[in-house]
Amino acid sequence: MRRPVARKLSVLAVSAAVVSVGATAPPAAPSTSVAKAPLAVGYGGAVASVDADASAAGIEVLRKGGNAVDAAVATAAALGVTEPYSSGIGGGGYFVYYDAKSRTVHTIDGRETAPLTAGSDLFLENGKPLAFADAVTSGLSVGTPGTPATWQTALDTWGSRTLGTVLKPAERIARDGFTVDDTFRSQTAANETRFRSFPDTAKLFLPGGQLPVVGSTFKNADLARTYAELGRKGVGALYRGDIGEDVVDTVNHPPVDPASGWNARPGDLSRKDLTAYRAKLQAPTKTSYRGLGVYSIAPSSSGGTTVGEALNILENTDLSKASDVQYLHRYIEASRIAFADRGRWVGDPAFEDVPTKELLAQKYADSRACLIKDDAVLTSPLAPGDPRHPAACATGGTAAPTTYEGENTTHLTVADKWGNVVAYTLTIEQTGGSGITVPGRGFILNNELTDFSFAPANPAVHDPNLPGPGKRPRSSISPTIVLDRHDKPVVALGSPGGATIITTVLQTLTQFLDRKMPLVDAIAAPHASQRNAAQTELEPGLWGSGTQKQLEALGHSFKLNPEIGAGTGVQRLPNGKWLAAAEKVRRGGGSAMVVRPAP
């Protein structure tokens, strides 16, 4: 979840018609009066994130001649300050980049990895899976961080500025502080009990032993010094240097308060794990949808394959003419089917034989789409199909339920004046990650290894997401870039939300591309999320509606989820103009900015 931030909460209830509204960063540094707006239109590049200070950091870099990659890293680093319970250098993520010159899409897998000593029994104790809460707040849950390596890899490959340069805005925000808002305080309150178990976490995030006060200035001098050290020495300071030594010591000897009574089980991270870590440059997934190219992240994330398969299932349905009930029915059923296949087939391809190409084949999607009926609902958990041997309407196989993923994370989207685009989702897993702060360093460590299956989801079927030495846990992160027939950007977007990321991205894409909603409204629209479960989750905007009742008449079953996802995106408009869009309300509203707002 996200966001503290120095900001006026000027969440504008803009509609798509008001395209002249624009938010822009101040001429110099981000300040405590940076305005928040969910929509901005203009020239020179655009940034959309959950946080006004972070978006302003990206705009600052664009203003000074940096490109989309430089600005994305600057924005991400600032989110590590103002959104420390969602992201930071103690975590990982996935970076999708469109190169305007070559009109090609590239990706970085910056997912955290399990220690080289990890086995499939990582989360078993006395032969039984640990309780999730016991695993989360422990050294066992911490994977080797991938975010610093992602930043350096992106800058080395496509950037135009040094790491030290793009970290400066975030370093300044950490040193000078940002303004605490309701979201930051509430997220701190939700973690207060476990934060108090770790003196370093409590000292930083519970100043004076109290919850931070809304409107107060929150400073993180330790993180400012850490960013300064990374800027001077490079990311080797973490993977081969003093910062890394502190990370290893913290994971293997969690600095827990003995009086708390908390059993903070130690991990087994080593210097070798850090020195062996690499952010992986890899090809994106690609799906053709309505004549457009939809590009996303390939495994170890399941985002690209699952969103892509669902789009392929929906390809032969005219969603533009469907009623709201017909549209949601088809979208829910396509999600259900794609999640059934995700659970069976997707894991870390360095360890598992993942049929990525076959999962994204239209032939396979057609064999699964015929399961959908207009007057009936499929039963979950639905059995997976076999993408290597597609059989029309096959219902064989053994179903496996979708495992839990924390609903934390943050997403940012950036475009520059040259037409380059970045969609980047980064995370420390659940809100507050492991809850363990590296002493003297100012950042919380991830709990990403809890994204592994603790035990086989179904003992009768091979589970591709069990832990292993150096293995990346399966993710649902789905940063997505859509290109037109000339390989130029149409839209780029993504969302946080654990496994709901996939359904949020799918729903936003179909509402924007098929239902012709303006991007800011497609992001804001109420969400439904079906993940091969008995019930589909609904946000309050759909709960109790006539649409829900008509879907229930078809056989759908629902449960309420107060908030699903929190997206951002950018849209290319004619003549070098960009539209940036963020949430209007979710997680306190997001921040869309452009370098030069349109008049």
3-class DSSP assignment, residue 108? strand
The whole-angstrom separation of Cα 220 and Cα 170 is 11
Q: Select which of 150, 409, 480, 508 is catalytic.
A: 409
Which of 34, 50, 244, 73 has the alpha carbon at shortest distance from 170?
73
Has 24 been annotated as catalytic?
Answer: no
Q: Exposure string (b/e) for 157-187, b if CB count within 10 Å is 16 or more?
A: ebbebebebbbbbbbbbbbebbbbbebbbeb
Long-range contacts of 182-185 (CB under 8 A, 24+ apart): 182/214, 182/588, 183/1, 183/2, 183/3, 183/4, 183/587, 183/588, 184/3, 184/4, 184/5, 184/82, 184/212, 184/218, 185/211, 185/212, 185/213, 185/214
Long-range contacts of 516-519 (CB under 8 A, 24+ apart): 516/320, 517/16, 518/15, 518/16, 519/16, 519/491, 519/493, 519/569, 519/571, 519/579, 519/581
For the chain, the straight-line distance linking the first and the last C-alpha, in angstroms and rounded, comes to 34
Asked whether 311 and 289 are in contact (CB, 8 A), the reply is: yes
Which of 571, 570, 588, 584 has the alpha carbon at shortest distance from 72?
570
The residues annotated as belonging to the active site are 409
